[in-house]
Each structure stands twice: as structure tokens, then as C-alpha cells.
Amino acid sequence: MILSRVVHHLKAQNWTAVGLEFLIVIAGVVIGFQVTAWNAARQDRFDEAQFVENLHDDLVLAEALSARVRDRRLDRVTDINNAIETLYGRTDHEDLSTAECDAISASQYFHLNVPDLTAFTELADAGRIDIIRDQALRRALVRYQQSRAALRDNIFLQSSIAHDLPFQFPELINVDAYFDPGVGEIRGRISCDTEAMRASRLFLNAVSQNADSYDAYGRDGLRPWSDQLNQVHARADVLLNLSHEQSDTEQ
């Protein structure tokens, strides 16, 4: 219809009318672009809000899947270091403590559930990371993915070189299995012959290598990932106006 009117005005050489028709067309195009952009922006804000909620669910699940073992692994780093100090006579302790004995007997275990944050992975795969307006959250998520990859690589590396001390030195480390109702799992009751350990150069070499591997695992893999998981969760809580106490109550 507009085109026919323009042709009519051109034939009549009504230049004023032609100019007005073109202005109407241009204005309509501009308004159309603005409406489209506004709708796209509104959809992005909706998708962003939904993403943060889904991300928070992923974080809660990730912590639930890893918390118990993660805490155990972090504590073990300290206990192994203390055990080394005791074995080499750099403390006043004659014998390994129960925690130290348990730690070195399990110093070959690095495996940990390192969950993916599905909401962020899906957003990244769709090329829509730019809808996250909060720069702190975006940076924290990228760092989480980096620290997660580093931890997985670290687990593979350290597991490949660690010594299984209870199997290599059964005369020095005794393991008796039992069911622990407190945690609902099979555990090992460990006993260590500290004096005999000190007398075995082969054992000291093996436990020293395990200690070095576990120290690297904690420093370069586990702790950075754990800290980054906490940072992402804290930022998501801020954006959702949640506290950990509120989250626990709601669940």
C-alpha cells in the first residue's frame, strides 16, 4: 500500500508527500528494530534470572556430592605433613597419632567427585555467556571451570605415581575393616608401627613421595577448586539475596 502511494506521488511530482512516505517507512523500521531489541533484552534478563537460579541448584548439588570427601581430603593434607614430621623425628612425638596413621595409610587416595555446573556449561555451549551482567559472577565461573580442569588433571597425575602403602608394607600398616554407623560406610581401623617405619628406608622414601604428591594435590588442585566453588556459591547467593541459613531452611 505504501509503495503504491509513493508511486502515485512520484507520478504527481508531489515531492512533499513522497518525503513524508519515506519518513513513515524509516520511522517504522526504526521502531521495529527498537521493539525487537527491547524484546530480546527482556528475554535475556528473564534467561539470566533463570540461569542464576539453576546455577544455585547446581552449586548446592555439587557441594552435597563432594562435601564429605572434600573435607576429609583437605584435613588429610595437614595430617600427612604432621606424620612426616613425626616419622623424621622433627617433633617430640614418639609415635604417630591416630589421625597421622590414618592419613599416611590413605595417602594414595586422591579421587574426588568434581561436579560440572550444568547450567553454566549449557550457557557456554549456546554462546550466551554475555547475558550474565554481573562481571564478578562471570569471572568466578570461568575460574571455577579452570580450577576444576586443573584438579582433574592433578588427580590423574598424583594417582599414577602414589604408592599404596598398606599393600606394599603390610608389616608396617595393619588395616581392619568395619562398618561405621556414624557415617554409614565401611571404614578401616588402622594401626602403624612407627618404630619399624623409621627403620625402613624403603618405606620412608615411599611415604615421602606420597606426602609430596598429596601436598601438590592440595595446593595446586583441591584447595583452589574448593575455594572457587565457595566463591561462585557466595556470589550466586548475593544475586539471589540468599543466605546459607535461608537456603537450608527453605530446603
Length, in residues, of the chain: 251
Cα–Cα distances in Å, from 40 out to 46, 63, 120? 10, 34, 20
Domain locations in the chain as residue ranges: 2-250
The predicted-structure confidence for 189-242, as pLDDT tens digits, reads as follows: 899 999 999 999 999 999 999 999 999 999 999 999 999 999 999 999 999 998
Closest CA to 215 of 63, 71, 73: 73
Task: Please name the residue that has the C-alpha cell 580442569.
Answer: 149
Mean pLDDT for the chain?
86
Summarised one tens digit per residue, pLDDT across range 156-188 is 999 999 999 999 999 999 999 888 888 788 888
Mean pLDDT value across residues 42-57: 87
249 falls in which pLDDT band (50, 70, 90)?
A: very low
- Residue 181's pLDDT is 87
Query: pTM of the predicted model, to two decimals?
Result: 0.77
Work out the pLDDT band at 43, boundaries 50, 70, 90: confident
To the nearest whole percent, how much of the chain has pLDDT over 90?
63
Cell numbers that stand for 80 in this block: 600427612
